[in-house]
Structure 1
């Protein structure tokens, strides 16, 4: 890794004075070096904007571990959920243009759209699609989005919303959502009369703001080049997973998390937010009005104020705006978001009162690596006197928290090491083809000497059914599907009804996007 460590470091803002700028630059360099070394990152890109200028750029590692091609400021990364802020900004631009209003009913623009509850279908507004208050559980319907690639279309995802049952009252609380952002992208396209969300994003956001390398939709890899590939840590090594082929396919989740950009692009993007009167002007005027910028950074839904925010940032509030998270950090407003997708991790952090913003893009390393680096960088600006709040400090805190959780045992995954392939005889009453109203078909059928679970429209969700004591789980074939699932079969309460199948995460702390708990399978036929 050391041989591949690249440095393109620009001087920090002159307003700090030579010694202050050099000290801050050295501190950030140390944080980046510590993150690469401690978390053995395959690739990383970091940039800082201050007072409207890019003052720091640093890249490290490789596009693909072992491949020899270095990460550069032009390397494309999946920005994952940092796509959401681009979707909300696109909607805000349409509000500026008078083509929609935040309180428009969704069905004004998408007449066929349905939620599970008819009253919610009538009442849900454009703004509700963006602020995680729908009443759905966290990550509801995400199994239509990933693991990718799969066979679900955008139309499938939107039609599936009618079958996702809420677990809370509408507008009663925060629960993170991706699928409704896909609906929001379709609202934008419909309101603008555009061919597609992707075409609208290119014409209304990428082109006027000069985000030249950003990509959405389908494109050929050889036309773009310099693309980071995602990695997982497996047996102590960075292993590429779900690598791109010659053609990068369009994905249904573009508006929620399907955009790719380079560090250079993302620094232009945050400069526009920090210096809207100077950067990204269109015909001499700001790309967004002040009113709409304020709407995006208004606290719309309260979020839980966790221990880390209280202890690390000294935060007193935490809320979701339109595609942005908001909190106070050492007495300053912090506007931020993260993105996580298939071995890719991103973070955008803005400190508008200080005129500072920074971007972190990683093609592996995990959320702990991102948390430690982002928090250390943030502290450099919100509390520069706290010189001990380094990457190593925060990594140590995270490790101590994990050790305490393991000792307590309340968040530990159950021990499944005693697993054995489920017997075909014992599984005989449950073999067959099952149907869920939004996820579609899945088969539980004999294949040779074992029983296999296979989802028809999500090929990566295929694996062998195993027995652990009295319980059954699916051992997925694909190593990057990192959340195993319990299977719970049940006879119907009357003889004329078929058996049912429910699923749940084996590890309760696994990513909520594996929303197995939202599935309600009913047996519809015999195995082929």
Structure 2
């Protein structure tokens, strides 16, 4: 019905970036010998050393790694436990949260619908979702399916992510679509790359509208089943029926402790299309093989034309300095659910995934029919960066002997040169005195933000507490720091704490800001603009706990370098 084609507006940008990349690869790549399907003893030893050193250096609770060489799985290694101290070993079938690696599965689903004639990449979003609105009416009218996927909407990085994380929360996809009309753009539409999750949620709902079934049903039917991703999970499912599920961990009080442990019933999440899928190492290796060495059946599942659209550059990404230094890269871009760059003269296509206590990376070297997958169930940002680099050099520069140890040292040096994160100079918020309810009397009340909903700043048992109605984990004690108020989150895996700034007006306004301005961009407190809508209820009771969290006194610390701190940080990948 509809010819599969990329959006017209991207043709020139794609052609220009692809031409640069092709020139670089053609000019820089020596004629590489075909890698052997079976690893040599030296190759096996190299990979074992990198995995072992990463696991030990970063005190990971669990790690799973797979490497594909010449279109065949050549290396599989798993270490550690699903839950630290449980004795339950991780294996290649253990489920991990793959976080933003879910995005490529969402775009593959959309590609399937394009192949089936159910949508076009350059269709307007409102054709499928009539209630969709952005802040600017012109952007609403012009937003196309492809625009949802390239992080170029004009929204600030991480805008609105408080509706997705921390999980679980009560925001629905309908809430998110409605909220977009209140989020003010920080940049021009299609003008620059700023990482975004909310529009992938919109993409999931658009797929549901075009495909005639809920997102999770479509994902299972159109992606998991045809590719044999037997263990992948999306939507609601039963933990114990599925079994073998890794839990996220934080580095707390000097050891790995599980955080946000799953209940028996895993609920569907509004953020599933952006980052809510779970898969095993075996699943992700099968998924990777589909891209590197597709079978004839897989080329019917998703046509070569759509594969090109998904993994072609659509939006340039500013090149981080370390990528230039470490990988001799010249160009970096975003496709549909994939990043891409030249590395040592070879073309790479990849993505990372980051949630609290869960890290992943999936790397493709299409011309080599090689790549790798790594999965971590701990506080593993720096571990992912250095192990990913060591595995990448296995393909692009085998003579590079730095390995995990060398790249870890370089990462530490880069962090030291950049300066320590600002919160290291601040006192532990646990040492700050609780706010006095009497002094805050004029500020207490119920406040409302048009996109985030209602929060309360109310007295309880002689102290003051902040609570968000739709996000139960965003609850904490209000403390005072030299006359300024700070909410110290009860769940210490939420980073960073937030300043509360009250603005005398009629009615009173409340804005929030990160205590650490370099903290996770998904803690988008700065997008909140709360207006007092009423007094505190006569009786305030504690919100019920949702899942296991570190105790309030726990000291949640990081083994990670500052450069790898933020969600899907683009320092290297």
TM-score (norm 1): 0.93
2:395 aligned with 1:381, yes or no? yes
Which of 334, 338, 353 is 1:324 aligned to? 338
Whole-angstrom CA distance in 1 between matches of 2:312 and 2:328: 20
Q: How has the CA–CA distance of structure 1 residues 48 and 491 changed in structure 2, closer, same or farther, with 3 Å as cutoff?
A: same
- In structure 2, the residue matched to 1:3 is none
**Mapping 1:74-223, distance limit 5 Å:** 74-194=93-213, 196-223=214-241
Question: Which 4+ residue blocks in structure 1 deviate beyond 4 angstroms?
Answer: 14-20, 409-414
Whole-angstrom CA distance in 2 between matches of 1:420 and 1:18: 62
Which of 6, 17, 38 is 2:57 aligned to? 38
2:240 aligned with 1:227, yes or no? no
Q: Secondary structure at the match of 1:98?
A: coil
Task: Give the deviation of 1:75 after TM superposition.
Answer: 0.3
Which of 357, 369, 373 is 1:355 aligned to? 369
Whole-angstrom CA distance in 2 between matches of 1:511 and 1:87: 24
Task: Give the deviation of 1:174 after TM superposition.
Answer: 0.8
Mapped contact 1:414–1:507 kept (Cα < 8 A) = no
CA RMSD of superposed structures (Å)? 1.5
Task: Give the deviation of 1:355 after TM superposition.
Answer: 1.1
Task: Give the deviation of 1:353 after TM superposition.
Answer: 1.1
Mapped contact 2:487–2:498 kept (Cα < 8 A) = yes
**Mapping 1:230-249, distance limit 5 Å:** 230-249=248-267
2:427 aligned with 1:416, yes or no? yes
Task: Give the deviation of 1:413 after TM superposition.
Answer: 5.1
Mapped contact 2:341–2:348 kept (Cα < 8 A) = yes
2:510 aligned with 1:504, yes or no? no
2:306 aligned with 1:292, yes or no? yes
Q: How has the CA–CA distance of structure 1 residues 18 and 415 changed in structure 2, closer, same or farther, with 3 Å as cutoff?
A: closer
Which of 412, 425, 434 is 2:438 aligned to? 425
TM-score (norm 2): 0.86
Whole-angstrom CA distance in 1 between matches of 2:467 and 2:239: 30
Task: Give the deviation of 1:19 after TM superposition.
Answer: 9.9
Aligned length: 503
Which of 434, 454, 458 is 1:445 aligned to? 458
Mapped contact 2:171–2:270 kept (Cα < 8 A) = yes
Q: Secondary structure at the match of 2:233?
A: coil
Whole-angstrom CA distance in 2 between matches of 1:15 and 1:178: 38
Task: Give the deviation of 1:397 after TM superposition.
Answer: 1.3
- In structure 2, the residue matched to 1:523 is 532
Whole-angstrom CA distance in 1 between matches of 2:108 and 2:380: 28
Q: Secondary structure at the match of 2:340?
A: strand
Whole-angstrom CA distance in 1 between matches of 2:102 and 2:416: 33
Mapped contact 2:38–2:74 kept (Cα < 8 A) = no
Task: Give the deviation of 1:433 after TM superposition.
Answer: 0.4
Whole-angstrom CA distance in 2 between matches of 1:20 and 1:363: 27
Mapped contact 2:495–2:523 kept (Cα < 8 A) = no
Q: 1:402-451: CA deviations, max 9, x gaps?
A: 22333xx6855551346221222221111100000011110111111111
Mapped contact 1:413–1:509 kept (Cα < 8 A) = no
2:281 aligned with 1:270, yes or no? no
- Please list every run of 5 or more consecutive structure 2 residues that lacks an aligned counterpart in the other structure: 1-32, 538-573
Q: How has the CA–CA distance of structure 1 residues 117 and 94 changed in structure 2, closer, same or farther, with 3 Å as cutoff?
A: same
Which of 323, 326, 337 is 1:312 aligned to? 326
Q: How has the CA–CA distance of structure 1 residues 450 and 286 changed in structure 2, closer, same or farther, with 3 Å as cutoff?
A: same
2:380 aligned with 1:366, yes or no? yes
Q: Secondary structure at the match of 1:158?
A: helix
- Please list every run of 5 or more consecutive structure 1 residues that lacks an aligned counterpart in the other structure: 1-13
Whole-angstrom CA distance in 1 between matches of 2:37 and 2:90: 29
Mapped contact 2:36–2:70 kept (Cα < 8 A) = no
Q: Secondary structure at the match of 1:339?
A: strand
Whole-angstrom CA distance in 2 between matches of 1:245 and 1:207: 26
Which of 84, 88, 103 is 1:69 aligned to? 88
Task: Give the deviation of 1:471 after TM superposition.
Answer: 1.7
Task: Give the deviation of 1:169 after TM superposition.
Answer: 1.3
Whole-angstrom CA distance in 2 between matches of 1:125 and 1:47: 36
More off after superposition, 251-260 vs 472-481:
472-481
- In structure 1, the residue matched to 2:498 is 485
Mapped contact 1:276–1:287 kept (Cα < 8 A) = no
Q: Secondary structure at the match of 2:439?
A: helix
Q: Secondary structure at the match of 1:345?
A: strand
Q: Secondary structure at the match of 2:52?
A: helix
